Amino acid sequence: MVELIEIVFLAIVQGLTEWFPISSSGHLVLVQEGLGIKVPVAFDVVLHIGTLLSVGLFMRRDIILMIKSLLGFNSIEERRLSVYVVVGSLPIVAVGLTFKDLIERAFSDAIAVAIALLVNGFILFLTKYSTTKGNLSLSNTLTIGVAQVLSVFPGVSRSGSTISTAILRGVDRQQAYRFSFLLSIVAILGASVLEVSELDLTEISFEMVLIGFLVSALVGYASIRKVSKLVLKGDFYKFSFYCWFLGFLVLIIYHI
């Protein structure tokens, strides 16, 4: 059975790194590999569901407005945002369903994670030189959705790839993180449907699952508030240095 301290530690890692643009899935792979912690892949999804709760709480007003708009009770602008979220989610849904087995194999390869972290750092660093003043458009939405596909591989951050792409496309920073977080809701829900049914409670108890869920949700809510402020301040690119450091460190450890 997995120890309680391991569950709490993994949940804290997930909560911190899901919204910081440094890849939660990549950190879960490295932590489990480095510390010898063995949990089923489906449990990682449970932790992601915890952070799904955190983004749901943080974006609750936007979600309510989108639902109202779809029912015809709100503005065309909010209805357009709902359409953008659907369009932006199509690429990752298609890739997730088509390459599910390949993606799962990447969750056991520390070298692949290290390389992905280096790429992630490069994407983040580019935002240092970008000016943002425009609004979301259909073409921007699709580009951001394609960028999110990279995050199916551990080491590339979902928030990092989508927010960075939006910023690089000239989208206003507040709109960039807002749209990124809304996209993440669809992506995490999709992964949950595919994986959570495979969770084996003979390997990890229901109580442990519940604890992991709650801790990741609480820590995730704190981290998502922090990230939104960093995006607005223009400090998003600074996470690139951490990604490069960790990526090279892992490569050195594994003698590459």
Residues 21-36: tens digit of each pLDDT:
999 888 988 888 888 8
Q: How far apart are CA 130 and CA 124, in angstroms?
A: 11
Angle at 63 between CA 60 and CA 64, to 5 degrees: 85
Task: Write down the residue that tokens 């596909």 correspond to.
Answer: 149
pLDDT (average), residues 106-135: 87
Q: Is the pLDDT of residue 162 over 70?
A: yes
Average pLDDT, the chain: 86
Q: How far apart are CA 19 and CA 236, in angstroms?
A: 11
Angle between helices 158-168 and 173-195 (to 10 degrees): 150
Decide which of 197 and 156 is more confident.
Answer: 156
Q: Is the pLDDT of residue 98 over 80?
A: no
pLDDT at 171 (0 to 100): 93
Decide which of 2 and 206 is more confident.
Answer: 206
How many residues comprise the chain?
256
pLDDT (average), residues 8-31: 91
Spatial contact of 200 and 40, defined as CB atoms under 8 Å apart: yes
Q: What percent of the chain has pLDDT over 90?
A: 51
Report the 10 Å Cβ neighbour count for 222. 12
- Of 26-30, 36-40, 150-154, 237-241, the range with the highest mean pLDDT is 237-241
Domain boundaries in the chain?
Answer: 4-253
Decide which of 136 and 70 is more confident.
Answer: 136
pLDDT at 68 (0 to 100): 80
Three-state DSSP at 75 gives: coil
pTM confidence score = 0.88
Q: Is the pLDDT of residue 189 over 60?
A: yes
The pairs formed by 135-142 with CB atoms below 8 angstroms and a separation of 24 or more are: 135/171, 135/172, 135/175, 136/81, 136/84, 136/166, 136/171, 136/175, 136/179, 138/84, 138/87, 140/166, 140/169, 140/171, 141/84, 141/87, 141/88, 141/179, 142/87, 142/88, 142/91
CB-hemisphere CA count at 13 Å for 67? 6
pLDDT (average), residues 94-103: 72
Q: Which residue intervals of 59-107 are DSSP H helices?
A: 60-70, 76-98, 100-106
Decide which of 183 and 80 is more confident.
Answer: 183
pLDDT at 199 (0 to 100): 61
Q: What single-letter DSSP state applies at residue 196?
A: G
Q: Is the pLDDT of residue 220 over 90?
A: yes
